Structure 1
């Protein structure tokens, strides 16, 4: 009978070989998977084996099942980079004493990706959006995502609605904005809006106005 270590090592060999040998029902060979992602998944399961020893062998005691689970995780986590996957695994370990499900792993990878980009948690973002001074475009934001979520939720709504109701609305918008960031979108803050007086002062005069100003200046100075 194979020991646990032998089962894991055999499963790793099966996982690495499967892209080259597996065939779908239609017959063509599966696309070769990214070796870096395969290695990241193997590292994740090695971390889980060390930290959830008894739970791990209870859940993945069968090598064939372990190989299938790894393929599922590999396909599901392929949208995250290898660094986010490893950070997500460590986040799982640090926040739970139980062997994580794929759903929990996806959440941890998402949280790790957002944290690496400096995004605050939903409640901190909500407080920031509510307390930001006017004009909103000129306020100092911890991340553009907070501004965009606040704008989509509605500044007046956030200011006039109790947190018990407003937070759920903001959180939904914030999560949607964060999902766009995880998907690779880069958000920017809009250019600050100027008051009419400031806008007029910053405006570049046309050629006729420049000549008029120059004539007045010469008349005033006698040049």
Structure 2
């Protein structure tokens, strides 16, 4: 039986009643699946409240919304209901725009390894005081990405130039973590850049070009 619109974004079918908000969907007889469906409803409810205009633009009708729910339910099958809801709350804190399925996969995974969103990681790396190794990092990946990008470079270049370099390193490190690699905690080293004479514009430009060439960005 075809679905149709009615008040409250409710969707009816031969199997029962579905809502696009936080109410529960039709019971399947599978407690685990039912719990994940309830969690997904909560996720969409939170996202709708937080990204109202973007949400309505992305899911303009019940059919589109239900298709999206099925896709998200399948895509997020590797996470528990608690991780799904936590991912949505993390999106609200970190993301300016309505997250895509791909972004939600990252946000849900953050609950397992504590990886912050790239822009937040960049700001943490730039604002951390020296010595960097002594700072209480939200995750070692932020420290290692900052170190790979070069602390002095990050401190002496505008965000428009420095962020892409940092983000490229951070992405590679996160991918390694997602693949199962382990990162060591920051070690007390004597390799941090000390206060010195700022680089000239030509030196900065040369260093940036070398980094971009190495990272292929």
- Please tell me whether the aligned partners of residues 43 and 88 of structure 2 are also in contact (alpha carbons under 8 angstroms): yes
Alpha-carbon shift at residue 41 of structure 1 (Å): 0.9
Q: 2:11 matched to which residue of 1? A: 7
Q: Which has the higher contact order (CA 8 A, sep 6+)?
A: 1
- Please tell me whether the aligned partners of residues 92 and 104 of structure 1 are also in contact (alpha carbons under 8 angstroms): no
**Match of residue 147, structure 2, among 136, 146, 151:** 151
C-alpha distance in structure 2 between counterparts of 1:81 and 1:181, whole Å = 20
* Residues 39/80 of structure 1: CA separation in 2 closer, same or farther (3 Å cut): same
* Residues 90/114 of structure 1: CA separation in 2 closer, same or farther (3 Å cut): closer
| Bigger CA radius of gyration | 1
Alpha-carbon shift at residue 101 of structure 1 (Å): 5.4
Alpha-carbon shift at residue 40 of structure 1 (Å): 1.4
C-alpha distance in structure 2 between counterparts of 1:171 and 1:57, whole Å = 29
- Please tell me whether the aligned partners of residues 126 and 170 of structure 1 are also in contact (alpha carbons under 8 angstroms): no
Uncovered stretches (5+) of structure 2, i.e. residues with no partner: 191-217
Q: 1:139 matched to which residue of 2? A: 134
Uncovered stretches (5+) of structure 1, i.e. residues with no partner: 21-31, 195-223
- Please tell me whether the aligned partners of residues 73 and 102 of structure 1 are also in contact (alpha carbons under 8 angstroms): no
- Please tell me whether the aligned partners of residues 88 and 105 of structure 1 are also in contact (alpha carbons under 8 angstroms): no
- Please tell me whether the aligned partners of residues 88 and 104 of structure 2 are also in contact (alpha carbons under 8 angstroms): no
- Please tell me whether the aligned partners of residues 150 and 170 of structure 1 are also in contact (alpha carbons under 8 angstroms): yes
C-alpha distance in structure 2 between counterparts of 1:184 and 1:33, whole Å = 26
SS in 1 for 2:42: helix
C-alpha distance in structure 1 between counterparts of 2:186 and 2:58, whole Å = 53
- Please tell me whether the aligned partners of residues 87 and 107 of structure 2 are also in contact (alpha carbons under 8 angstroms): yes
Alpha-carbon shift at residue 88 of structure 1 (Å): 3.5
CA RMSD of aligned residues (A): 4.7
* Residues 150/105 of structure 1: CA separation in 2 closer, same or farther (3 Å cut): closer
Alpha-carbon shift at residue 45 of structure 1 (Å): 2.6
Q: 1:44 matched to which residue of 2? A: 43
In the alignment of these two chains, the number of paired residues is: 170
Which aligned pairs between 1:99-114 and structure 2 lie closer than 5 A?
100=98, 102=100, 106=104, 109=107, 113=110
C-alpha distance in structure 2 between counterparts of 1:193 and 1:96, whole Å = 34
- Please tell me whether the aligned partners of residues 149 and 170 of structure 1 are also in contact (alpha carbons under 8 angstroms): yes
Alpha-carbon shift at residue 144 of structure 1 (Å): 1.5
Alpha-carbon shift at residue 122 of structure 1 (Å): 1.6
